[in-house]
A = this chain, B = another copy of it.
Amino acid sequence: MPQQRRAQVTRRAIVIAAAEEFDRAGYDATPLSAILRRSGVTKGAFYFHFPSKDAVASALIRFQAQVWSKIWQRWTGRGLDPLSTAVELVDEVIRILERDVVVRAGAQLAMRDQETAARWEQLLGGLLRRSAEHGLLRPEIDPAAATRVLYATLVGVRVLSTGRAIGAAQQTGEIWRIVLGGIATADWLRDNPSVPTAAPRPTS
């Protein structure tokens, strides 16, 4: 294996092992030794790539920011109405958080920063405000309140999803079904039948 390629493999092993350990035990409770053990990388090799555990955390935070930025650009660039954009965006974010431990660990680290957390709510709030302006929300719904409720629900799902039979992605469908039923106009719900707002109740 050429040296440059080997260096990439090592760096990637460190990043994944760190993400898995941070995801499992939290950043503060993860010693460097746990990252070394899980990655099978020596201390010398680690310090060749990163000056500290904190530097790995910074790399994870930068990586998740790039992922979100791409997803945001993709969905806002599709010409969907703002409410559909919000639905698709949230669904993809939740699916990625569930599937990809590297993004999930980075997002967990990023959310320790209150401003980052507030930024997510602002983005979602902007989409719901535009949804109200486009007449996609029922007139009695305050988009700021709807954003707070939706955001709290998503945070709660993330908090509760650990060790649950039902994953966060499945729960997101349930959330949209109920929240959209509570905020969207009848017209929007009729025009967007693919949104699972009226899934049949299980007969069991």
Contact = CB atoms under 8 A, between A and B. Distances in A.
Nearest to A145: B174
Interface string A113-140: 0100000000000000000100000111
B142 A201 contact: yes
Contacts of A156: 151-157, 159
Contacts of A154: 156
A30 interface: no
B171 A149 contact: yes
A171 to B, nearest CB: 6
User: Assembly of this chain: how many copies?
Assistant: 2
Interface residues of A, number: 38
A115 to B, nearest CB: 12
Contacts of A163: 114
Contact of A171 (B152, B177, B179): B152
Interface in A179-204: 179-183, 197-202
A128 B178 CA distance: 14
A67 interface: no
Interface of A: 114, 132, 138-142, 145-146, 148-149, 151-157, 159-160, 163, 166, 171, 174-175, 177-183, 197-202
